[in-house]
Structure 1
Amino acid sequence: MLEFIRANQTITRGHNIFWEDPKYTPQWVCDLTGPELQLTVNSCIQSLMNKYKEEFIHWDVSNEMLYFDFYEQRLGPNATLHFYEIAHMSDPLATLLVNEFNVVETCSDVNSTVDTYIPRMRELERGGVSMDGIGLEGHFTIPNPPLMRAILDKLATLGLPIWLIEAIYLEEVLTEGFSHPSMNGIMLWTALHPNGCYQMCLIDNNFQNLLVGEMVDKLLKNGKQGRYKV
């Protein structure tokens, strides 16, 4: 895959190093405790980031830490801070992000609102974490553009670039995202399925545009024509 990416000069990002949900943590890792787990965590960060040093422009170091806390439960409250310290030392040029869901989609989720995300980011900042961006998943049921705009405005007070990592309801969400001055980019989740593409894929298995690809091309064209920021 990387040979293809290099040959086609495609920018690549890493998602993710750690997923705080134990359900998605390998069983052999769940069985580790104390110094053994800490050694494994350090090795995981260093081996990944050294192997792909200067190849991956982004790393979602910690995924969904507002909902789950597997590593902090096992290694103490500074576990996440330690992730970012080791990651930054391993590849100082990589952009390091946190990734979270139900921050920009809704204000009804007590675990993951903008008012829980911001204090957590500031806490990491006070601990000395060099954070480079805010990752937002976009699992929208029905998008609410005014709410999305207000939440992006709040997150912008952190002074960090914002990346919308996954999004559906494309036209509304992407237009709103592209239009916000703190939005640095939008990633589309385009996983392949054995029987063909999911609904978010840009192209089919023959590299021909699907409806999603047509929509993105249209939005990019409108952006180049100055109808909104790209």
Structure 2
Amino acid sequence: MAGAVFALHLLMLSGLVSSELIQNGGFENNGMDHWGHCWGFSCEVIPADDSRFGSHSLKATGRTHSYQGPSQLVNVAPGKIYKAQSWVKILKDKPGTIGQTMMLEVSFEFPDGQHSYFNVALQPLLTAGDGWVFLAGEFETPPQNFKSANFYYQGPEPEVDFAVDQASITEVHVSSQWRVQTDANINKYRKSDLKITVSPASGIDRSKVQIRILQKTKAFPFGTCVNSWKYIDPSQTKYQDFIHKHFNWAVLENALKWGQLERNQGQLNYDRALKTVNGLRDHGLKVRGHNMVWSVDQYVQSWMKSMTGDTLRNTVRQHIQWTLNMTRGLLEHWDVNNENLHGQWFQNQLHDRDFDLELFRMMYQADPYPKLFLNEYSVVGSGAATTAYREQGMRFKNASVHLYGMGVQSHFGRGVEPNPSLIKQRLDTLAEVGVPLWTTELDVQNDDENVRADWYEQALRALYGHPAIEGILFWGFWGDIQSAGQRAGLVTGPDLHLTAAGRRVLDLFENQWMTDETHVLSQSGDHFTVRGFHGDYELHVMYLGHQLTNLKKTFTLGKQGNVINVNVHT
């Protein structure tokens, strides 16, 4: 043990591991030292039976407000990134509820008396039967000076008792070498070897033979959400053409959501959605379904709010069957229950915590073809729900409900610079589930289009360079209609003029991440290898400055690589 402590001390001195900022985070031998007064409720240190580690933990009882919880002032510096974590435990369930939400929070007080609040981590639907649960997330301190920073717990409903243990806050040291790592991963996971053997006929001058390897399409899914109203509008050909030219996947922004398909009970309208899906498919794009059910309270139609029991279950089942019958064979994916960590209306209404699992079973039974997804925010763009999302993914995978993948929305808030090191950490956490990850709703927001270009590139390189990411879709690209507005746009104005951000993104997609190489035999030899991006290719042979069209070859380069033989003759 002494050796381990000494080794940890050396790591701290080297800067690889930060010193601990929470004092008495394990509540061992120091009672309530360093923890603030529990105003309006009670806190007490309890013995080993209820501790996660060691011999003690802290118990909060007699709460009358959801925001009440143990707290501690922490000595953090402006403009730094920190990781906060703790184990928590619900001690007694509240009758009539299916679970409680626990959160780690940090609040900042400024010299003028103003406050800002940061949700560091959350976990919904916790019950006493879950025992000790791990919460973790990162937060960035404000760049300006502040008077104090307060770390605290909150979330469970009033009178719900809980215990906490092993609280910790440490500084996160981000890597300055992220670009080296992502470039290496892009080369490893997004490219393969194309081995070419050239056999010139007798008399062919090798110095006059050129072999061009030209990629025509990319295999990796790069896509966007599509505004159906604009897409089916005959006057919006520039919008339609941009989508068809620059993307190979799409997702409908709103037109397939239940509230759009059945705004009033029994009045179904699938026409606009189907016209959009068919138009995209006719131009070679694959389409995701988004979303079958949305459990966040505000997005549940008013005509459904009074339904309970079998009436509600049958209504959901009928919606799933209708929608999958209408879209059969048209969609590759479905987001089944959108943002379920942030809303559980159907589960609460039915008093059934596992109804989210039942939704996946209903989907698969109605149509086994589309791949089924969870879809969530605050898991990459920020990390408040990353750990909870990993646990949810594990739960779905272990339940064998045909979960294919996890959508990571990747919205970066206004003025939030994507941090490639944090993106990697969060994706690493989610990759532990062992299912594919898709970036389903990417956007960054900055009024300066040149800064926006840098931020999009940072986010895209971090995402494309992670082996668990299987596809990347933007949440729109036209600043005039994008939900985040011009500050997120790749193009702007009625003519869809490319911004600096748009030019940068297209350079990545269509130049840097596409393969186009020409080899002269006298320099490369008769046997050479091209490390190419996955996709469809053409091979062209030039001799004496003229293309030998009869020797043109088409082929696909996938993960297993490929071998091409070329016999050059005139």
TM-score between the two structures when normalised by the length of structure 2: 0.37
DSSP 3-state at the match of 1:54: coil
Which deviations, in whole Å up to 9, do the C-alpha atoms of 1:29-72 show, x marking residues without a partner? 11211111100110111111121112111111111111111011
Which deviations, in whole Å up to 9, do the C-alpha atoms of 1:109-154 show, x marking residues without a partner? 2xx2x22111112212222211111101112122221111011112
2: CA distance between counterparts of 1:94 and 1:152? Answer: 24
Measured at CA, do residues 78 and 2 of structure 1 come closer, stay the same or move farther in structure 2, by a change above 3 Å?
same
DSSP 3-state at the match of 1:132: strand
Shift of 1:212: 4.4
Equivalent residues in 2 for 1:72-151 (5 A)? Answer: 72-75=347-350, 76-107=352-383, 109=384, 112=385, 114-140=386-412, 141-151=416-426
Which deviations, in whole Å up to 9, do the C-alpha atoms of 1:141-170 show, x marking residues without a partner? 222211110111121121111111122242
Q: 1:216 aligns with which of 471, 495, 505?
A: 505
Measured at CA, do residues 41 and 179 of structure 1 come closer, stay the same or move farther in structure 2, by a change above 3 Å?
same
Measured at CA, do residues 55 and 211 of structure 1 come closer, stay the same or move farther in structure 2, by a change above 3 Å?
farther
Q: 1:173 aligns with which of 459, 470, 480?
A: 459
Measured at CA, do residues 4 and 213 of structure 1 come closer, stay the same or move farther in structure 2, by a change above 3 Å?
farther
- Specify the alignment match of 1:182 in structure 2: 468
CA RMSD of aligned residues (A): 2.4
Q: 1:13 aligns with which of 288, 293, 297?
A: 288
DSSP 3-state at the match of 2:311: helix
| Alignment-mate amino acid for residue 132 of structure 1 | Y
Shift of 1:2: 3.1
1:145–1:172 CA contact under 8 A, matched in 2: yes
DSSP 3-state at the match of 1:187: strand
| Alignment-mate amino acid for residue 180 of structure 1 | H
Moved more, 160-169 or 175-184: 160-169
Equivalent residues in 2 for 1:55-74 (5 A)? Answer: 55-74=330-349
Measured at CA, do residues 42 and 105 of structure 1 come closer, stay the same or move farther in structure 2, by a change above 3 Å?
same
Measured at CA, do residues 213 and 58 of structure 1 come closer, stay the same or move farther in structure 2, by a change above 3 Å?
farther
Measured at CA, do residues 210 and 80 of structure 1 come closer, stay the same or move farther in structure 2, by a change above 3 Å?
same
1:179–1:228 CA contact under 8 A, matched in 2: no
Percentage identity across aligned positions? 28
2: CA distance between counterparts of 1:155 and 1:3? Answer: 33
DSSP 3-state at the match of 1:217: helix
1:22–1:30 CA contact under 8 A, matched in 2: no
- Specify the alignment match of 1:159 in structure 2: 434
2:372–2:405 CA contact under 8 A, matched in 1: yes
Highest RCO, 1 vs 2 (Cα 8 Å, sep ≥ 6): 2
2: CA distance between counterparts of 1:175 and 1:229? Answer: 16
Measured at CA, do residues 212 and 13 of structure 1 come closer, stay the same or move farther in structure 2, by a change above 3 Å?
farther
| Alignment-mate amino acid for residue 68 of structure 1 | G
**Structure 1, unpaired ranges of 5+:** none
1:179–1:229 CA contact under 8 A, matched in 2: no
2:296 equivalent to 1:27: no
2: CA distance between counterparts of 1:105 and 1:165? Answer: 12
1:99–1:136 CA contact under 8 A, matched in 2: yes
DSSP 3-state at the match of 1:56: coil
Moved more, 146-155 or 215-224: 215-224
1:178–1:229 CA contact under 8 A, matched in 2: no
Shift of 1:214: 2.4
Structure possessing the higher radius of gyration over alpha carbons: 2
DSSP 3-state at the match of 1:9: coil
1:11–1:57 CA contact under 8 A, matched in 2: yes
Shift of 1:196: 4.7
2:332–2:370 CA contact under 8 A, matched in 1: yes
DSSP 3-state at the match of 2:289: strand
Shift of 1:224: 2.1
